[in-house]
Amino acid sequence: MDIQRGNIIVMDRRRGTLRAGQGLLQGLKVVWDHWVGSFRKNDNFSQIHGTFTIEYPDERMKLPQAYRNMPVLLYDDETGQELCTACYQCARACPPEVIHITQAKDPNTGKMVPASLEFIIEYDACMSCGLCAEACPFDAIKMDHFYELSTDNRMGLMQRKADLNRPVSYYTSIAPDLWDEVKEGAMKKLQGSIKRRPDVIGIAGHLSEKIAARRRQLAAEAAASPPAPVAAAPAAPAGKLSPEEKAAKLAAMRAAKAGGAEPAAEAPAPAAELSPADAKAAKLAAIKAANAAKKAAESPAAEVPAAPLDEKAAKLAAIRAANAAKAAAEAPAAPLDEKAAKLAAIRAANAAKKKSE
C-alpha cells in the first residue's frame, strides 16, 4: 500500500473578512436568541428544544408503584384494625436494626395477643431497603412514596405507631396493582387476628369513633348472650345424693353390716358444706375402714391366732382415721366432716374387733 506523505491540504474556514468586534456580536446574538426563546409558549412537543426540568414543587413526577422510600403500617379502613400482629419478622430482617416492637397482652389473662402495643422505626437510620416489607407475612408494612422528610429535629424522625399508621386506601392510591396481588390473603389473615383480640386491642389509637363503636358492639353481644355458668360444682338435685355423700353413706352401711349394727340414723353432711380436702379425707377413712372390715370378714374362723393381727390392723386403721380426723380438724373444715370421719373409723374398729372375737 503506497501512502503519500508530505501533502498539505489547506482549508479556509473564513466566510469572509471579519471586522473588529463582529465575533463578539455573533456570540451575544446566540445568548439573546436563547433568552427570548425562554419566554415562548410551546404548543406541542415539536417546538420544545433545549433541556427542561419538572417545575417542582408545583409539578411532581409520577413515581413507579414499586418505588420505596420509608416503611409505614397499614390498617383496615372499615374496622380500624391494624394488620400488624407483632410477629417480629420485620425486626429480624432489618439490616440496621431500626425497628422496635412491643407485643400487646390481654389485660384479663396476661396472654400475648396478635397485635402491637408499640411500633417504632428510626427514620434517621433507615436505609429504605424494603426487606421489612418483603419479610412481613401479613402485608402490614409497606414502603411509602413520601420523601419530603427534611427537618432540623433529629428526634422527630423517631416515628411511632401513631405516625406510621396509614389506611389501606392510601396504599391503594399509590400502588393499586401491588395491593390487588395480596389483598385477599391479607384480609383473610386480618379476620383471624381480630377473633383473638379482646376489647379494642389492635384498633388504631387515633380512631376514637372506631374504638367507641367496637365497645358498643361488645356490650351488645354480652347483653344478648346468655349468662355464663357458675364455676362452682353443681348442686345435687333434690332427693339425690352427691358422689361424696353416696361414698360416705355406702362405707357406713358396709361397716354397720359387718359389725351387725344398724346404720346410723343421722344423714351425712351435705356436699355443699364439705371442702374438697375434707371430703377426700372422709372418703379415704371410709375406704380404709371398709377394707379392714372386709378383710376381717374373709378370714377363716379356724385361724384363731390371726385375731391379734386383725385387732392390730383395726387399731392401725383407727389410728389412721383419727390422724385424718385430726388433720381435718386442724384445717378450716366443718364439725360435721370430722364427726363423720371419726364415726366411720370407730364403727370399723368395733366391727373388726367383734369379728376377731
Tell me how far apart the alpha carbons of residues 108 and 120 are, in angstroms, rounded to a whole number: 26
**Is residue 271 very low, low, confident or very high in pLDDT (cuts 50, 70, 90)?**
very low
Residue 293: how many CA atoms within 13 Å on its side-chain side? 25
For 138, residues 6+ apart whose C-beta sits below 8 A from its C-beta are 83, 84, 85, 87, 186, 189, 190, 193
Query: For the residues 303-324, what does the mean pLDDT come to?
Result: 60
Backbone dihedral region of 50: left (phi > 0), alpha (psi from -120 to 50 degrees) or beta? Answer: left
Query: For the residues 8-13, what does the mean pLDDT come to?
Result: 68
Residue 312 has pLDDT above 50, yes or no: yes
Residue 266 has pLDDT above 80, yes or no: no
What pLDDT shows up at residue 136?
Answer: 96
200 phi and psi angles, rounded to 5 deg? -110, 20
**Is residue 305 very low, low, confident or very high in pLDDT (cuts 50, 70, 90)?**
very low
> CB–CB of 113/201 below 8 Å?
yes
> CB–CB of 165/75 below 8 Å?
yes
What is 71-219's CATH number, 3.10.100, 1.20.1070, 3.30.70, 2.60.40? 3.30.70
**Is residue 235 very low, low, confident or very high in pLDDT (cuts 50, 70, 90)?**
low
Query: For the residues 312-334, what does the mean pLDDT come to?
Result: 63
Query: For the residues 32-42, what does the mean pLDDT come to?
Result: 82
Q: Does pTM top 0.85 for this prediction?
A: no
Residue 2 has pLDDT above 80, yes or no: no
Tell me how far apart the alpha carbons of residues 351 and 255 are, in angstroms, rounded to a whole number: 7
Strand order in the sheet with 99-105: 99-105, 112-122, 158-159
- Averaged pLDDT of the chain: 79
What pLDDT shows up at residue 261?
Answer: 45
**Is residue 96 very low, low, confident or very high in pLDDT (cuts 50, 70, 90)?**
very high
- Grid cell 353443681 in the structure block, residue: 234
Give the chain as a 3 state SS string: CCCCCCCCCCCCCCCCCCCCCHHHHHHHHHHHHHHHHCCCCCCCHHHCCCCCCCCCCCCCCCCCCCCCCCEEEEECCCCCEECCCCCCHHHHHCCCCCEEEEEEECCCCCCEEEEEEEEEEECCCCCCCCHHHHHCCCCCEEECCCCCCCCCCHHHHEECHHHHEEEHHHHHHHCHHHHHHHHHHHHHHHHHHHHCCCCCCCECCCCHHHHHHHHHHHHHHHHHCCCCCCCCCCCCCCCCCCHHHHHHHHHHHHHHHHHCCCCCCCCCCCHHHCCHHHHHHHHHHHHHHHHHHHHHHHCCCCCHHHHHHHHHHHHHHHHHHHHHHHHHHHCCCCHHHHHHHHHHHHHHHHHHHHHHC
Q: Which percentage of the chain shows pLDDT scores above 70?
A: 69
**Higher-confidence position of 139 and 350:** 139
What pLDDT shows up at residue 350?
Answer: 82
pLDDT in tens, 192-219: 999 999 989 999 988 988 899 988 888 8
Parse the chain into domains and list their residue ranges. Answer: 71-219, 243-356
Residue 85 has pLDDT above 90, yes or no: yes
Residue 320 has pLDDT above 80, yes or no: no
Query: For the residues 14-35, what does the mean pLDDT come to?
Result: 80
Please choose, from the candidates 199, 215, 231, 224, the residue with its C-alpha nearest in 3D space to the C-alpha of residue 109: 199
Residue type, 9: I
